[in-house]
Amino acid sequence: MSESNFDYALLADQARGLLSVTRDPVANAANLAAMIYSECDRINWVGFYFLKDGELIVGPFQGKPGCVRIALGQGVCGTAASERRSQRVDDVHAFDGHIVCDADSRSELVIPLLKDGDLLGVLDLDSPEKARFDATDQRGFEQLAAVYLESISKSS
């Protein structure tokens, strides 16, 4: 269920400004996670997992403590990473192999972070509501993930 009047283009513009200070991937992930968490309603977890030594390792996030390691192909995050495509899940309890990090989460949207064909990690969003994310939300958060990737790859 999309936020009917939510302006993802405006949020992307705000993110560009926020992330223009540095190219540091951790600093920009931390600020973007905080921005999304504070600006978007009905989200109980938002954060980054980065690919390291063949698995996803938790990075900056907002919400309850997250899973530290996720194998590629496991859960919604690992599936998005291994398939290199966004995963929008209306009911995480119906997703085969779902990894429970926060028992309050009911739906999830995971965007893979791809730079020059290489997988850097994923942007993960959870909601306590079933079917919280729709196609509009997916496009909007994919745009925010692209802003993040631009922020860490721009020339100095």
Question: Going residue by residue through the chain (156 aa), what tens digit of pLDDT does each one get?
Answer: 444 568 999 999 999 999 999 999 999 999 999 999 999 999 999 999 999 999 999 999 999 998 999 999 999 999 999 999 999 999 999 888 778 777 789 999 999 999 999 999 999 999 999 999 999 999 999 999 999 999 998 654
Q: In Å, how far are 2, 5, 58, 96, 122 from 49, measured between CA atoms? A: 24, 29, 4, 20, 5
117/98 Cα distance (integer angstroms): 26
The answer to whether residue 33 sits within a structural domain is yes
The answer to whether residue 3 sits within a structural domain is no
Write down the pLDDT at residue 153: 87
Q: pTM score, two decimals? A: 0.93
The answer to whether residue 39 sits within a structural domain is yes
The answer to whether residue 77 sits within a structural domain is yes
The answer to whether residue 63 sits within a structural domain is yes
CATH number at residue 40: 3.30.450.40
Domain holding 132, by residue range, is 8-153
Write down the pLDDT at residue 96: 80
The answer to whether residue 1 sits within a structural domain is no
- Strand-pairing partners, residue 101, are none
| Domain count for the chain | 1
Helix ranges (H only) for the chain are: 8-18, 25-39, 75-83, 135-153
The answer to whether residue 98 sits within a structural domain is yes
